[in-house]
Amino acid sequence: MRILSKIFATVFGLGYFPVAPGTITSLGIIFLYKFIFHPLSWPLHMLIFIFIFLLGVFTSQQYSQQQNKKDPQNIVIDEAAGQFLVLFRLDPSWTSLLIAFFLFRFFDIVKPFPIRKTEKLPHGWGIMMDDVVAAVFAGIITNIYLLLK
């Protein structure tokens, strides 16, 4: 189980990228959405998100305990789940995808209120929830912008 937690929590090793592993993971999700996932029905998209989220809660808790750290930088399944949520029902144009990417990374890095507060949740919940809340902020702003443009 230790090896599987490591594989999933680091999204198949992307978490070991030497520079900005969370950003690399988010970019990977953008490309997967652009070329594979964008035609999914909304229920299937949400089901995949819920699966990634719950897998992330479990594996990030296991892996962070193995590392003896609260939220190791190489855990990136939270970025994968968050970026995937931002893309919910989004047009797969490069403009939409790049706006969603940059807004998600901004909110995930800066962590304005109440995002930072969610990090205090216990174990894997805190690791995952700050990215989910960042995704909600980024998704709302992305969609408002795309509606108004």
Torsion of CA 88, 44, 33, 127, to 10 degrees: 70
**Phi/psi of residue 17, nearest 5 degrees:** -60, 135
| C-alpha span between 38 and 75 (Å, rounded) | 25
Helix (H, G, I), strand (E, B) or coil at 108: helix
Amino acid occupying residue 66: Q
| 20 C-beta neighbours (distance < 10 Å), count | 13
Domain boundaries, the chain: 2-148
pLDDT of residue 67: 87
Looking at residue 72, its pLDDT comes to: 85
**pLDDT reported for residue 71:** 82
pLDDT of residue 149: 80
pLDDT along the chain (149 residues), means of 10: 92 95 97 96 97 97 90 94 96 96 97 92 93 97 93
pTM (2 d.p.): 0.94
